[in-house]
Amino acid sequence: MSFRKRNIGLSTGPGQGPAANSPAQAPQAAAVADSSPGIRPSPDDGRATTSTGTLSLDNLLAGHGGLPIGKMLFIEENGTTDFAGALLRYYAAEGVVQDQKVHVIGVPEQWGRSLPGLIGSAEAGDEKPDRRKSERMKIAWRYERLGEFGAGVAGSRAPVAFEQNQSTDANQVKPAFCHSFDLTKRLTHPSIAKMNFIPFAPTREPFFASIYKRLQSAIASSPPNTVHRIVIPSLLSPTMYPPEVSQPDNVLPFLHSLRALLNTPNARITAIITVPLSLFPRESGLVRWMELIGDGVIELCPFPHSADALATSGAATSGEEPPQGMLKTHRLPVLHERGGGSDQNIGQDWAFNLSRRKFEIKPFSLPPEEGDKEAQGGAAAGGMPKKEDLEF
């Protein structure tokens, strides 16, 4: 791959080949990052990616360290909780902070005022390095960089790419790619007023056609280099959408056109859509078709409330928060479009945890059974005579 042309632009990004970290590409990568904040080349193949506003979700996306430009991600949620809504708020807030154009479909402007407050850069504000430092003695040094999921792709590989351009402009501060937010605070940022809300208004046109038209004209009227984010909360939820639009012949053409819009050459758009699975189960043909049109599908399965006690004892170590639910990846952007497989995160069970300051996704593991000593002892005590009974 070293024979590639050196002057190929990186903006649209597909198919840059696996050698994206080669020195030939690093200056271009820096150029992309400079021209629009919040965009960086994927460590996997060099395509442009942008952050979802959640560090661990970025790391989950098949080694790209972010959501690749032009991709549509579905976040589906079971039950009545709103974890997906939190992810969506992070995504929108990240867009606001990065001066990207955020289009929100179907909710009033109050939604924009409830975006979580900015704490700082997620990579810098992460408390993980500290904890790792304290545990340093326990881990053999050569395994130190392995294993910790949060320090996966973005933590270990991206700095390598950045080191190369730091040598050229050493005094420039690396702009943050992903920020962390505080759910209890409110975001105040000058560009929050620039968010574009597309509420539902009765029109004579078909429902989705008018939304699409407004979305498209908003994107077409913005300067050419703008990075757009499309946010669609609770697609098809009957509290917001009229019932007839959940017919496949309404919603599927809309999603298909949205996909076309995202795939427009030179456009820089990403989208995250949440779907309430309790109303539209994954076993239905309609939802499956929505997923097939999307690029990535992630399902959140929060633990039922009664499981809280169990989950509390289920913390892997005392320092960690108990998981609040399971997360399943059904399809990942780019990876599955190519055929799937070969991702280190594939086949893992994921658990998620939403705290005040972050949404964390980590490998799920059943903890050692704590507090069950009496039962074990009792069983042993009860087991002994039984064993004698069994002897002839």
The residues that touch other proteins, with contacts defined as CB under 8 A, are: 12, 14-15, 17-18, 44, 205-206, 209, 212-213, 216-217, 220, 247-249, 252-254, 256-257, 259-260, 263-265, 282-289, 291-293, 297, 330-331, 336-344, 346-347
Q: Which of 248/378 has CB closer to other proteins?
A: 248
CB 364 within 8 A of CB 389: no
Closer of 189 and 282 to other proteins (Cβ): 282
- The token duo for 160 is 């390598």
For residues 150 and 56, is the Cβ–Cβ distance under 8 A? yes
Nearer to other proteins, 265 or 385 (CB): 265
37: number of CA atoms within 13 Å, CB side?
Answer: 16
Complex with other proteins: residue 340 or 377, whichever CB lies closer: 340
| Residue 50 in tokens | 């942008």
Q: In this complex, which beta carbon is closest to other proteins, that of residue 174 or of residue 330? A: 330
Shortest Cβ distance from residue 69 to other proteins (Å)? 11
- Min CB(311)–other proteins separation in Å: 23
Minimum CB separation of residue 216 from other proteins in Å reads: 7
Shortest distance, position 24 Cβ to other proteins, whole Å:
17
Kindly list the strands in the beta sheet with 296-302, ordered across the sheet, starting from the edge strand earlier in the chain: 196-198, 101-105, 228-232, 269-276, 72-77, 296-302, 325-331, 350-354, 359-363
Q: Please state the closest distance from residue 184 (CB atom) to other proteins, in A.
A: 37
CB 101 within 8 A of CB 222: yes
Which H/E stretch holds residue 303? none
Closer CB to other proteins, 118 or 245, in the complex: 245
CB of 332 to other proteins, least distance (A): 9
What is the CA angle 55-58-62, rounded to 5? Answer: 145
Token digits of residue 333: 């952007």
* Nearer to other proteins (CB atom), residue 227 or residue 251: 251
CB of 255 to other proteins, least distance (A): 9
DSSP 310-359: HHHHT-SSTTSPPP-EEEEEEE-TTHHHHT----TTTT--EEEEE-SS-E
